[in-house]
Amino acid sequence: METLPIWVLTLDYILGTIMWTLIGRVAMNLFLPLDSDFFFMKFFVRVTNPVLRFFKPVTPGFLLEPMVPLFVAWFFFMLRFYLMPWLLGYSVMGMLSFPLEGEIAAALYRLLN
């Protein structure tokens, strides 16, 4: 992580946080309705609604409403998987090279060992 410029880490952390928040909304929606009073669900809906509105023009109409956040999260995954290595000048950067997930995996490794 020390070799990556700070702007790369910042951009990846922002894109990764948005992606995982959208995935969290889908997961929470499996158990709770969108208008639930549970504070985590309120947070996921409030934070992700502007992102979903922004992607509305490119979202297919045939998607079931609960799956739309997962579709939008896919865009953020693609940005992180293809754009980030290109910006860094790499031809290939593996899935386990995402800085956000790498930091989380390293912390879990330290915690469990």
Spell out the residues 6+ positions from residue 23 whose beta carbon is closer than 8 angstroms to its own: 69, 70, 73
Closest Cα partner for 52 from 34, 31, 39, 33?
Answer: 34
Amino acid identity of residue 111, one-letter, is: L
At residue 60, the 3 state secondary structure works out as: coil
77 lies in some domain: yes
44 lies in some domain: yes
Q: What is the pTM of this model?
A: 0.79
Residue 3's H or E segment, with its range, is none
1 lies in some domain: no
Quote the pLDDT of residue 64. Answer: 92
For 85, 102, 111, the CA distances from 51, given in Å and listed in that order, are 24, 25, 33
Quote the pLDDT of residue 63. Answer: 93
84 touches 93 (CB < 8 A): yes
Tally of domains in the chain: 1
Amino acid identity of residue 17, one-letter, is: T
107 lies in some domain: yes
Distance of CA 25 to the CA centre of its chain: 11
Tens digit of pLDDT per residue, the chain (113 long)?
Answer: 567 778 878 888 899 999 999 999 999 999 999 999 999 899 999 999 999 999 999 999 999 999 999 999 999 998 888 777 777 766 555 544 677 777 888 888 899 98
Q: Which residue range is the domain that position 52 belongs to?
A: 6-112
